[in-house]
Chain A
Amino acid sequence: MRSVFNKTLLEIAKKDKRINMVLADIGYGEIEPFAQAFPDRFINVGVAEQNMTGVACGIAMEGNIAITYSIANFPTLRCLEQIRNDVCYHNVNVKIVIIGGGLAYGALGVSHQSTEDLAIMRALPDMVVVAPADFVEAEAATYAMIEHQGPVYYRCGYKKEPPLHQGRIDFKFGKGLIAKEGKDITLIGTGTITYHAYQAAELLKKQGINARVVSMHTVKPIDKDLIIDCAKNTGGIVTVEEHQITGGLGGAVAEVLSEAGVSIPFKRIGLQDSYVHIVGSHDWLLDKFGFSPENIAKTAKGLIK
């Protein structure tokens, strides 16, 4: 997915001269085409994320669009105050892109696992929070991010994720996408883990359960109408996020449901308020922490009874 993002951005940047990339010494093997094509719109500030964000803000305030880009938590947590005070409070055109959300960098360890980002970014006023599920969403989200006036947080996958959607999609910030129709229950995912929700729906189908699958690519602003529609027309919701269960997608969906006075069977799948204290690859960790299609299907089935 990161290649899709970088290629798309390069295409957009050929026409839109406002686009600047501001890096903190991360992006090897991906950012070189941009750096070579637009040396005057590219800067590597060195290993200094606070400065990356402040410099990006200064560049954006001069009428540009500045993209900060790094892996996992690097462009969010170290420089959270710069994102809040400089970028969001001034509502400037800085786009924060991370490669490898959730457990994507598995065996690299906790420092490289971005598992609180959705909650933290979602708490910031004027911030859009987006996590594309597959390549077509990633491409569309890149265009939407550049078109959007103001800060955007973009959580990008880092490898060759399978396609969730067949054919064209109508991608808009704040509008979830139904990847599969169903009437018995809804599985709502965000980001690349949504594909596991889709696989879970396939498993459920074999057991006679028809699950709807929603890609909630925009965690903020969240698609309230779609959530309420899922509650009313499918009777139950399971959220799936590669993230702590507090404050992210599941939290956002729960807020919508409870404020709407909708009481339905509901379950959040995510990390259970814990860091990853074991060692393993992305896929292995996903299984260990309950993200396997089998476990998602089992959780959904448990809600229906």
Chain B
Amino acid sequence: MLTKKQICDFEYLAVKIRADAVMMTNLQHSGHVGSSLSMADLLVVLFEKVLNVAPKNPKGPNRDRFILSKGHAAAGLYSIMAEKGFFPKDWLETYYCDNGKLCGHISHHVPGVEFSTGSLGHGLPVTVGMALDGKRKGKKHRVFCLMSDGDCNEGSTWEAIMLAAQHKLDNLVAIVDYNKVQALGFSKDVINLEPFAEKMNLFGWAVKEIDGHNFEQILDSLSIIPFVKGKPSFLIAHTVKGKGISCMENTVASHYKCVADDKLEDAYKELGV
């Protein structure tokens, strides 16, 4: 159970991530703001309560490994990582800029970022390799992969899904920011992942399905890992693309766009900053 104070703190952080993502993607009018907005609440719980990572010792051997496979949502992840102290907060204002510290897709050149992605379907295979090695060496750390629904179109993702179950990698957790929107449309119209949970069960994973904007549910679902001993864990987090900014919510355009200059003030007002 989270206290009222904790929920309040989490909300504050989630708003901060969303406001940063809006600000950062607006800097050079880059895109993918909707992808950062949908995963903001997941990031808060992961970094506040779940991941064993140390901003001052980002390469510590016992750290939990966390890979953002939906690398286009870099702005959101950079925001919370700056907040946690992995790198100076003023780097955020250099996002996508000439000679900036942060590029449009997540990069391992940034302290604390485990792995660079940007092309979908790359995150899960790498986490499977890490989890396999951790298991064979009897390590206690866990390996997390935060994916998008678009990620689950890629054949390489399914190759990794099959292998993780085959080798009972119960130190591996895949989280899908299931915002139901991908680059050219709604996922139900492009590649319908449903019945998603059932499918993943049949593929040999232990599955949980939650509201990805409910802090209690996120924390509850990730408080005990693995979900089932001997199986990799799959968390389907139902989210809303563009969450928190009405002109962006549940739109395909939010995959490509930023909040335009003339809408910025309204967006910040809506977020409450």
Contact = CB atoms under 8 A, between A and B. Distances in A.
6 contacts: A45-B163, A58-B125, A58-B127, A58-B128, A58-B130, A62-B133
B116 A40 contact: no
B116 A51 contact: no
Given A46-B162, A58-B132, 20 more contacts: A40-B136, A41-B136, A45-B163, A48-B163, A50-B125, A54-B125, A54-B128, A57-B125, A57-B126, A57-B129, A58-B129, A58-B130, A61-B126, A62-B134, A66-B129, A81-B122, A85-B119, A89-B116, A90-B115, A90-B116
DSSP majority for the B interface?
Answer: helix
Interface string A14-44: 0000001010000000000000000011010
B48 to A, nearest CB: 26
Nearest to A39: B136
B86 to A, nearest CB: 18
B160 to A, nearest CB: 5
A59 interface: yes
B204 interface: no
Nearest to B108: A90
Contacts of A86: 115, 122, 125-126
Interface string B134-163: 101000000000000000000110011011
Contacts of B131: 58
Contacts, number: 89
Given A50-B121, A66-B129, A86-B122, A61 B159 contact: no
Binding site secondary structure of chain A: helix
Contacts of A73: none
A61 B108 CA distance: 12
A56 interface: yes
B118 interface: yes
Contacts of A70: none
A55 interface: yes
Given A50-B121, A55-B126, A89-B116, A82 B156 contact: yes
Contacts of A85: 116-119, 122
B155 A55 contact: no
Interface in A104-127: none
A53 interface: yes
Given A53-B125, A85-B116, A86-B126, A59 B132 contact: yes
